Amino acid sequence: MLKNSLSLLLVLTITLFSFASLAVAIPACDTSICKDYFKTYKKYSKAGYADAMATLGDLYFNGHGTDKSIKKALKQYKSAAKYGSLNGQYKAAMIYLNNEKYKDIGKGVKFLEKAARAKSDEAAFLLGVIFYKKDFHERDFDQSDKWLTKAYEADNKNSAAFIRFIDKSNELNSSNYPELLAVLSEKPLPAEKVKQVSKQPLTASTQQQAVMPTQAKETAAIQQQTAFPKDDKTEVITITSNLHDMFMAQLSSLRNSYPQKGATATGSKLIGRSCDEMISCGAMDKKELTILMNNIMGAGAVNTFYSSM
């Protein structure tokens, strides 16, 4: 009984982070079970639960239990963002920044700023990149300095590599990045990892692997990450990596909480919640990051950036 209780507690605790952060894919699905989940999340969304709105957006985005609709997904993400969902803010931003039909860089930046103010280091990192590159958005070193510093202070895993990229471009100086340099003086960049060159003899399979495009390698890594382990010792990972278990855990949490819509806010500001207080806490998807970084910096610059990681 104790073991079951602990397992349930772990599942509920991990739902404080988004499905994306756990690499749990939400596939297209039209089975009766998927349709039931869609109907349930739609009910909670209409009742005013911000996290349900964000997850309903994911279901629309992927066509899980319903027809795929980016338009309806964006509407749900924006509603979730309005009531403090970090996941909603981040996902709305990614649609505005990446989707050709709905592309609006200004709106994307605004949603990222909301997420960054709610202490999303991923959003802060992206803002640092966006304000750095003049061809993608209006260049603003003050803003780039501000957000990249926050990302680095929060130990964002991509920030160190991008700082090295800026340094190699001879733009990491006291005029452009005074705040960041002050932090770096107290907290220096971690040592770069020395990449080992494999001495494995070339075979047909290793040759194919060597020429595999960067994005394909990343996709393969993500797929490997999401594979369900079968070792009995990894029971917790198996439990939390199952999509339907995640749905059940999130719905259980919703049933024991109050909707954000209609909640009393201080003054005229809408109610907002920190990342630790939310079920859906947006995390950067590697594929989305690669697409956006390529759009901002160009393929050559992206390769240089990743070689610094």
Is residue 283 within 8 Å of 17, Cβ to Cβ?
Answer: yes
DSSP 81-108: HHTT-HHHHHHHHHHHHH-TTT--HHHH
Quick: pLDDT tens for 73-101.
999 999 999 999 999 999 999 999 999 99
pLDDT bracket for residue 309 (50, 70, 90) = low
Question: Can you tell me whether residue 64 is helix, strand or coil?
Answer: strand
Quick one: pLDDT at residue 306?
55
- pLDDT exceeds 70 at position 68: yes
Is residue 130 within 8 Å of 109, Cβ to Cβ?
Answer: yes
Give the span between the Cα atoms of 37 and 43, in whole angstroms.
10
Quick one: pLDDT at residue 272?
43
- Complete domains list, the chain, with CATH: 14-190+235-260+271-307 (1.25.40.10)
Mean pLDDT confidence for 126-135:
92
Quick one: pLDDT at residue 152?
97
What predicted TM-score, i.e. pTM, was given to this entire model?
A: 0.68
Quick one: pLDDT at residue 194?
63
pLDDT bracket for residue 25 (50, 70, 90) = confident
Quick one: pLDDT at residue 142?
97
Quick: pLDDT tens for 207-262.
445 444 444 444 343 333 333 334 444 333 333 347 888 899 999 999 988 898 87
Least confident of 15-24, 95-104, 109-118: 15-24
Share of the chain above pLDDT 90, in %: 53
Q: Is 248 exposed, middle or buried (0-12, 13-18, 19+ CB in 10 A)?
A: middle
